[in-house]
Amino acid sequence: MGITINAEKKIFTLETAHSAYQMQVDDRGFLRHLYYGSRVNGSDMSYMHIDYDRSFSANPNCAYPVRGYSLDVIPQEYTGCGLCDFRISSIGVINPDGSFAAEFHYDSFEVRKGKYTIPGQPAVFENGEEAETLVIMLSDPATGLSLELLYGVFPEKDVITRAARIINRTAGTVMITKAGSMSLDFSYGDFDLLSFHGRHAMERVMERTPIVHNVTSIRSRRGQSSHQHNPFVIICEKGANEDYGNCYGFMLVYSGNFRAETEKDQFDSTRIVMGIEPESFRWKLEQGEAFDTPEVILSFSAHGFTELSHQYHRIIRHNICRSKYNFARRPVLLNSWEGSYFSFDDQSLLKMAAGAKELGVELFVLDDGWFGVRNDDNSGLGDWFVNEAKIRCGLPKLVDDINAMGLKFGIWIEPEMVNEDSDLYRAHPDWALNIPGRGPCRGRNQLVLNMSKPEVRDYVFDSISKVLKSANIEYVKWDVNRNVADVYNEQFPVDRQGEIAHRHILGIYDLLERFTGTFPDILFEGCSGGGGRFDAAMMYYYPQIWCSDDTDAIPRIAIQHGTSFGYPVSTIGAHVSASPNHQTGRITPVNTRAVVAMHGTFGYELDPAKLTEEEKKEIRSQILYFKEHYDVIQNGLYYRLTNIGEQYFEAWEQVSEDRSEALLSVVITVTQPNARLIHIKMKGLDPEVDYRMDVRTDIDEKVFTIPDFPGGSQLKEFLQKEGRVYSGAALMNGGITLPWLMGNYLAMQLSFRKV
């Protein structure tokens, strides 16, 4: 496994435990993509590709007079632009002479031990295992523009990473107008595209569409990876499902504007290009300067989506997340937001914290409203000093009092934003993004601080650091509550304004690096109005991200289902909130809300004083149950057992890596009369051992007395039979049948432990 070179045939093969990726320098110096899929025992896969004279497919000058060679049809590793390939391009350039062309020929290669890094950007890193880097150097013989293709190989993780470095070795200035991180051509196959779309409070809903004879773009132009589209897509063969079929994943490690493009061409070849969104992007390269693209994480599964998801979950947990809390047990928290919003003072906070402690919560989080003059969302952002009209005792005393209860303390910040009604904006209006001669775009009545300016980053770091050092703060929720517009930096010349959006993102990375490096003992959680910046790049700095502002358990199932295709449970911030739900008005049992929130980091977002004694008792039980099953929930393998909306219930399963424990969760999403029984085949168990099953639910015993509920006796009998034993083979091949559940949005959890 790893990188092998056939020098005679100029073939480069990258092998992981179960996949092979192969390319070749052809006799005209172009780097062809040959193969990506299951391992082929080192075979030369060039036999699959035959060149033909295709009408209206132009021939590069170096091929003259051969008419059967065209870049418009051959599979390439990274395309040029403006010449003989009329499909989507990997790169866009304006050369010193004003031309828009680039054509890259092979120069050399280098194999390095270890994984490459990308200056100023997050990327997959080594974590004790062996990794290798292949660098292939290409250049345009007409201009001297150089290109380095970077490949990182993690054999045991079944992951290959890709990035590109564009270097100006021309005789003048080059303008980069498109900078793809990677391109990949599939010469054969009929594929579907899985993408994850949404909106605020309904993010990452999986959508499957055929790749047709057209260009399909999945993208964000919102200055962040966005609620609307996620920078992760899957290409799969027709008929692929959770357990069957070839699947290819592409995850961009980037938090700003992005684009993933697919195209099926005239001869049914499929191309995908992924990288920074080229609209409004320009990067000026003077002689000798280089531009580094973000990274893409590639992974292949021959056995469906579940295996592909597990591969992404492992690489993110082990080789993206760096926090000390990545594998440490994180505290169960209560966030004050939906319990009090902006209406609180120190005494009400102490009362809420005391109520949280009584429930078994371990961390109390003070959300928005504690700083500046902040009584609503129209003022105060940017003024990072404590509002002592609300917190009259001072933050250090408040934290000490909450710590004395036996609770940790956390706080909410929104460092990237500013209100016009703030001391900061009045002193430095030029620190907000704004285009000269135009009034600003506002979102939530706030503006975006220009993180491409070092002085802005210095202020944010210094002012918030003073707060974090003033008290025993052990958790920080970092929020971003609007999209980015008005992108401009007057400190840069006109011909470099196209760089500012990317420089803004690099500035955010710089700021996050400073915070997480200075405060390594703080648990940072990311947020962007919920899931508006839920991407692998952010996970480099935060081990968890608030998954969505929608805390309604029922739509949350679909949100978390889609999220799980690429991202592990341990990164998904999920809370039990009040009922009726504050976003939808839906009423759901407190048990159901907890079952859904246990597909995540787990916590609460409500006022304990408004709970009934019965609800308090149930929540204490939930927290104990979560702690008991923490390892299998947070560290286990995750299985999607149902497809969203195809039945009246949803089910998912978490299984420990050693297969000694499993947790099966089932939620009724549509109540039906005389419903068919729930029958589920479990996954991931050891077929050779037996498992003891225990059931947890809060089904109201009154349903057993309803005359028209014929399943009542069966349900009662099922719930009373604790400790039943089944073989792993029976549970996976035969399955488990649950009795009919009567009531609104009921849920059940079944734990299985190896006997």
Q: What is the pLDDT of residues 493-521, one digit of tens each?
A: 999 999 999 999 999 999 999 999 999 99
The band of 701, judged by pLDDT with boundaries at 50, 70 and 90, is: low
Strand bridging mode 475-478 / 523-526:
parallel
**210: burial class by Cβ within 10 Å (0-12, 13-18, 19+)?**
exposed
Q: What angle do CA 293, 297, 303 make, to 5 degrees?
A: 155
Model confidence at 165: pLDDT above 90: yes
CA distances 561 to 298, 501, 664, Å, are 21, 31, 14
Calculate the dihedral angle through the C-alpha atoms of 31, 32, 34, 36, rounding to the nearest 10 degrees: 70
Q: What is the pLDDT of residues 647-676, one digit of tens each?
A: 999 999 999 999 999 999 999 999 888 888
Q: What percent of the chain stands above pLDDT 70?
A: 98
Task: Return the minimum-mean-pLDDT range out of 184-198, 278-292, 325-339, 734-748.
Answer: 734-748
Q: For residue 354, which phi and psi values (nearest 5 degrees)?
A: -60, -40
Domains, the chain, in order of start with CATH, read 2-319 (2.70.98.60), 640-754 (2.60.40.1180)
Question: What is the residue-averaged pLDDT of the chain?
Answer: 96
Closest CA to 82 of 62, 103, 58, 63: 103
Model confidence at 132: pLDDT above 70: yes
Helix (H, G, I), strand (E, B) or coil at 56: coil
Model confidence at 713: pLDDT above 80: no
* Token output for 705: 């007395």
Q: Which amino acid is at 254?
A: Y
Higher pLDDT, 674 or 489: 489
Angle of helix 590-597 versus helix 553-563 axis, rounded to 10: 10
Q: For residue 423, which phi and psi values (nearest 5 degrees)?
A: -60, -40
- Which residue's structure tokens are 């650091």? 465
Closest CA to 293 of 283, 301, 302, 303: 283
* Rounded CA separation 163/148 (Å): 9
* Token output for 446: 């706030």
* Token output for 113: 């031990």
* Token output for 500: 């500012």
Model confidence at 175: pLDDT above 80: yes
Closest CA to 274 of 290, 291, 298: 298
Report how far Cα 132 is from the mean position of its chain's Cα atoms. Answer: 25
Mean pLDDT value of segment 715-737 = 89
Closest CA to 285 of 110, 207, 168: 168
* Rounded CA separation 723/439 (Å): 67
Q: For residue 7, which phi and psi values (nearest 5 degrees)?
A: -65, -35
Those residues with Cβ within 8 angstroms of residue 714's Cβ, 6 or more apart along the chain or in another chain: 739, 740
Higher pLDDT, 226 or 128: 226
Q: What is the distance between the terminal CA atoms of the chain, rounded to a whole angstrom?
A: 37
Q: What is the pLDDT of residues 314-349, one digit of tens each?
A: 999 999 999 999 999 999 999 999 999 999 999 999
Task: Cite the beta strand spans of 303-353 per DSSP E.
Answer: 333-335
Residue 199: CB atoms within 10 Å: 12
* pLDDT, position 410: 98
Those residues with Cβ within 8 angstroms of residue 265's Cβ, 6 or more apart along the chain or in another chain: 73, 87, 213, 271
CA quadruple 670, 600, 660, 718: dihedral sign: negative
Strand bridging mode 475-478 / 408-413:
parallel
Would you name the residues annotated as active-site residues? 535, 615
* Token output for 272: 């995908």
Q: What is the DSSP letter of 731?
A: I
Model confidence at 721: pLDDT above 90: no
* Rounded CA separation 324/347 (Å): 33
H or E element in which residue 447 lies: strand 447-448
Closest CA to 367 of 399, 336, 403, 402: 336
Task: Return the minimum-mean-pLDDT range out of 532-536, 561-565, 715-719.
Answer: 715-719
- Answer yes or no: are the C-beta atoms of 150 and 119 closer than 8 Å: no
Model confidence at 708: pLDDT above 70: no
Mean pLDDT value of segment 522-544 = 98
The band of 301, judged by pLDDT with boundaries at 50, 70 and 90, is: very high
**What strands lie across the sheet with 661-668, from one edge to the other?**
637-640, 649-655, 661-668, 747-754, 690-696, 724-727
- Answer yes or no: are the C-beta atoms of 638 and 662 closer than 8 Å: no
* Rounded CA separation 569/590 (Å): 21
Mean pLDDT value of segment 73-81 = 97
- Which residue's structure tokens are 């504050």? 582
Model confidence at 703: pLDDT above 60: no
Model confidence at 610: pLDDT above 60: yes
- pTM here? 0.97
* pLDDT, position 707: 60
* Rounded CA separation 396/521 (Å): 18
Calculate the dihedral angle through the C-alpha atoms of 123, 127, 129, 132, rounding to the nearest 10 degrees: 30
Model confidence at 104: pLDDT above 80: yes
